[in-house]
Amino acid sequence: MVFTKTMLFLLFQHFAITSCNAVVGHHHHPHHSLLTDKAALLEFKKAITDDPNSTLANWQEDTEVATSRVLAAKTNSVFIIGRLRYLLLEGNNFLGSIPDSLILPSKLTVLTLLQNNLTGGIPPALFSNCSMLRVLDLSNNFLSGKIPKEIGSCPNLWTINLYDNQFTGELPLFLTNNSLINLDVEFNLLSGELPVKLVENLPAILYLHLSNNNMVSHDGNTNLNPFFTALANCTELLELELASMGLGGMLPTSIGGLGVNLTNLLLQENRIFGSVPSNIGNISMLVVLNLTSNLMNGTISANISQLSHLEQLFLSHNSFTSAIPEAFGQLPHLGLLDLSHNSFFGDIPSNLGNLTRLNYLFLSNNLLSGKIPPTLGHCIELYKLDLSHNRLTGTIPPELSSGLSEIRLFINLSHNQLEGSIPIELSKLEDVQEMDLSSNNLSGSIFPQISSCIALTMINFSHNTLEGNLPDSIGELKNLVSFDVSDNHLSGRIPLSLNKSGTLSYLNLSSNDFKGMIPSGSIFESVS
């Protein structure tokens, strides 16, 4: 979200001007333009129908022109000594709208009205005299209508943030004399084709955030090439966000012309199909690539291994039908790899074990087969490992658990064809909270040392062929909330220790060969 950056920006600027603030004085004969500034403020105040924080209470006709160039909610006692430069009114719950005839004070540099409840449109007249305006932040309001093209007459505008409003129509072709570096119109109702002419004229832009609108690609939402070709003019681009728009087309080879410093490319929740082209390797500074929830059904170029700074790769919920490229194992900084919900088949490449910084590995819901590579045990910083819903066979490699003692959150190997016993090394996972090994062919008994996994809140060993007694030590798992060992061949007595647990709220022991009395108390009172 951009407004944090905007704020930083402001802070920096604020610093630059605080020295002027110290001036206090009475100006009995304010210059005409000061009165113009004051008139503009009073006009704004008149259009605010509800000011629950009484932020504007001191803005009165008879207030003396006083102390500051900065007018902010936090220092609301001020009127201005010099010309008003900064009008900072975020988070005041204002109701009302921006008056049609309001003209921004001509020296105004920063206007922030974010997080209010303003309705109505942005009146074009606002920008009649905006040559000094650098930052306009109207995000998180209920503003609607078209974005006026007059916004383009502010030659020094650096930042336009209209995030989360209800603007409609097309993005106007701002002619901002090439100074715009930050444009955020996410979460609006903008329509029309992706703005080729606009981006061709934004050579200085760093942040281009258009996500969550109703825009389409060219040729009836089938062609992304014209837009990506035009983006080649944005040589400084750092972040491109085009998510959740239903954009159609293939990833064009012109993607290789994106700014060499691009770090974030967010294209999730669109209708993009085909391959990840080899030109992806050109965007060599990329840190986050998100293609989740598209229709990708081609190949993934091995050139992706050239993205040596990549930290997060989201390819889940697509229609990939290839093997998992070895190239992923060559991304030294990768911390997240999400390939879930595709049709990747074949073995899990053993070189994924080279990804020693990996925190999240999601390969679930694919057609992967073969054994779990023991090398995954080298990914010593894994927090979450999900290999569920594949066709994996063989035993659970002991190396997995001995290497992965860092696993914090969960390990999910369920819905595969794993066999053999549950390796006792799993008892080393002291931080794991959820362990799901259900729906495999695991046999043997549940070892008593399971109680060493003291952080466990959830155990699911159901639908296997486990046998023997349920160890008494289960009752020592002080955080256990859910315990499911149903549909196995467990026998003997149900351990009395289970009713010691104050946290357990789901217990399923059904379809086993348990004998004897069902213990009384605690969880057993509420479970059938």
| Spatial separation of the C-alpha atoms in residues 328 and 337, rounded to whole Å | 9
Does residue 269 bind ligand NAG (CB under 6 A)? yes
Does residue 412 bind ligand NAG (CB under 6 A)? yes
Tell which one of 415, 459, 471, 523 touches ligand NAG (CB under 6 A). Answer: 415
| Spatial separation of the C-alpha atoms in residues 332 and 168, rounded to whole Å | 43
| Spatial separation of the C-alpha atoms in residues 477 and 195, rounded to whole Å | 57
Stretch that binds ligand NAG, among 20-28, 267-275, 424-432, 506-514 (CB under 6 A): 267-275
Does residue 153 bind ligand NAG (CB under 6 A)? yes
- Residue 350 CB, shortest distance to ligand NAG, in Å, is 4
User: Site for ligand NAG (CB under 6 A): how many residues?
Assistant: 63
Query: 165: part of which helix (H) or strand (E)?
Result: none
Which residues are paired to 167 by β-bridges? 145
Stretch that binds ligand NAG, among 12-20, 56-64, 279-287, 494-502 (CB under 6 A): 279-287
Binding mask 348-367 for ligand NAG (x = CB under 6 A): --xx-xx---------xx--
| Spatial separation of the C-alpha atoms in residues 111 and 253, rounded to whole Å | 40
Stretch that binds ligand NAG, among 59-67, 277-285, 401-409, 422-430 (CB under 6 A): 277-285
Identity (one letter) of the amino acid at 154? C
Helix (H, G, I), strand (E, B) or coil at 67: coil
- Residue 218 CB, shortest distance to ligand NAG, in Å, is 16
Stretch that binds ligand NAG, among 11-19, 229-237, 484-492, 498-506 (CB under 6 A): 229-237
Q: Are 87 and 111 in contact (CB under 8 A)?
A: yes
Binding mask 362-391 for ligand NAG (x = CB under 6 A): --xx---------x------------xx--
Site for ligand NAG in 388-407 (CB under 6 A): 388-389
Does residue 462 bind ligand NAG (CB under 6 A)? no
Binding mask 463-502 for ligand NAG (x = CB under 6 A): ----------------------------------------
Tell which one of 290, 433, 451, 464 touches ligand NAG (CB under 6 A). Answer: 290
Q: What is the DSSP letter of 55?
A: T
Helix (H, G, I), strand (E, B) or coil at 474: helix
What is the per-residue burial (b if ≥16 Cβ within 10 Å, else e) of 317-348? bbebeeebbebbbbbeebbbbbbbbbebbeeb
Shorter beta-carbon distance to ligand NAG: residue 486 or 499: 486
Does residue 279 bind ligand NAG (CB under 6 A)? yes
Binding mask 112-151 for ligand NAG (x = CB under 6 A): -----x----------xx----------------------
Site for ligand NAG in 431-450 (CB under 6 A): 434, 436
Site for ligand NAG in 304-323 (CB under 6 A): 312, 314
| Spatial separation of the C-alpha atoms in residues 133 and 150, rounded to whole Å | 13
Tell which one of 99, 281, 377, 475 touches ligand NAG (CB under 6 A). Answer: 281
The length of the chain is 528
Does residue 92 bind ligand NAG (CB under 6 A)? yes
Tell which one of 120, 124, 145, 155 touches ligand NAG (CB under 6 A). Answer: 155
Stretch that binds ligand NAG, among 252-260, 390-398, 493-501, 519-527 (CB under 6 A): 252-260
| Spatial separation of the C-alpha atoms in residues 387 and 389, rounded to whole Å | 7
Q: What angle do CA 394, 397, 403 make, to 5 degrees?
A: 160
Q: Are 302 and 331 in contact (CB under 8 A)?
A: no
CA 376 to chain centre: 27
Tell which one of 21, 144, 263, 278 touches ligand NAG (CB under 6 A). Answer: 278
Token pair belonging to 458:
């959830």
Tell which one of 68, 159, 161, 254 touches ligand NAG (CB under 6 A). Answer: 254
Site for ligand NAG in 69-88 (CB under 6 A): 73
- Residue 526 CB, shortest distance to ligand NAG, in Å, is 22
> Whose CA is closest to 325, among 169, 342, 187, 309?
342
> Whose CA is closest to 439, among 362, 387, 371, 506?
387
| Spatial separation of the C-alpha atoms in residues 197 and 183, rounded to whole Å | 15
- Residue 151 CB, shortest distance to ligand NAG, in Å, is 10
What is the per-residue burial (b if ≥16 Cβ within 10 Å, else e) of 28-37? eebeeebebb
Torsion of CA 31, 33, 34, 39, to 10 degrees: 130
Token pair belonging to 94:
């204002």
| Spatial separation of the C-alpha atoms in residues 200 and 202, rounded to whole Å | 6
Does residue 257 bind ligand NAG (CB under 6 A)? yes
> Whose CA is closest to 400, among 435, 351, 461, 353?
353
Q: Are 514 and 492 in contact (CB under 8 A)?
A: yes
Q: What angle do CA 382, 385, 390 make, to 5 degrees?
A: 150
Shorter beta-carbon distance to ligand NAG: residue 354 or 452: 354
- The residue ranges that bind ligand NAG (CB under 6 A) are 33, 50, 52-53, 73, 91-93, 95, 103, 106, 117, 128-129, 153, 155, 175, 177, 200-201, 233, 235-236, 254, 256-257, 260-261, 266, 268-269, 273, 278-279, 281-282, 288, 290, 292-293, 295, 297-298, 303, 312, 314, 329, 350-351, 353-354, 364-365, 375, 388-389, 410, 412, 414-415, 434, 436, 458
